[in-house]
Amino acid sequence: MNDFSGYVLSTVLSSQFLLLSQSSICYIAIGRPEKLELFNKPLFVIVLSMYPIGECVLWTWLSFKSGIDDDNYVRDYYYEHFNETITGWRVLHHWKYDQFNVSAFMVIAGAMVVMTFNMSIGLFLASRTIVQIREAKSFSPNYKALQFKILRALFAQAWDAIVVILLIKDYRYWDYD
């Protein structure tokens, strides 16, 4: 990684585990409240922190791998064909000089695997939390309503990015007018 923004981006991407950890804490608090005590034990916290540390290392490694190819093929192509100078932290092109770019494809595939894995865990924990709240017999109606409000707040954090991307025309159409 040649520039500071690469480190910032990998840190931001690795911090996406926060929503995942909020979902898991919410699930444990609702579905298995007796296990909340585990969060007071240092060994449990250390084991739990291995996931975000691993995420940070993985995203940094993917960022480093994407920065190895410095021939600016995509930037040059856009300048020649569209008279546009594109900038950004990294621009990857999986097909250049009429050959398949395995390195760029592996970086993109690795990032997709990580994001799909995180999304799957988050969806599983969120759905299990909803089921646990609905099936709970010891919760009062007010407490159930409060738990659903907390869960909706967690969903809103993830939903916000989807809504913003759908509302901004340039992200969907790459309109350079």
Tell me: pLDDT of 91 over 60.
no
Tell me: pLDDT of 1 over 50.
no
Beta pairing, strands 99-100 & 95-96 = antiparallel
Confidence of residue 127 (pLDDT cuts 50, 70, 90): confident
pLDDT above 70 covers a percentage of the chain that reads 62
pLDDT at 99: 80
Tell me: pLDDT of 177 over 70.
no
Closest CA relative to residue 90, chosen from 108, 102, 106, 116: 108
Q: What does the mean pLDDT of the chain come to?
A: 73
Please give the angle made by the CA atoms of 24, 59 and 96, to the nearest 5 degrees. 135
C-alpha torsion angle, residues 173, 15, 64, 172 (rounded to 10) = 0
pLDDT above 90 covers a percentage of the chain that reads 1
Domain boundaries, the chain: 4-68+115-173
pLDDT tens digits, one per residue of 35-55: 778 878 899 888 877 877 887
pTM: 0.57
28 vs 131, more confident: 131
Confidence of residue 87 (pLDDT cuts 50, 70, 90): low
Phi and psi, residue 99, nearest 5°: -135, 150
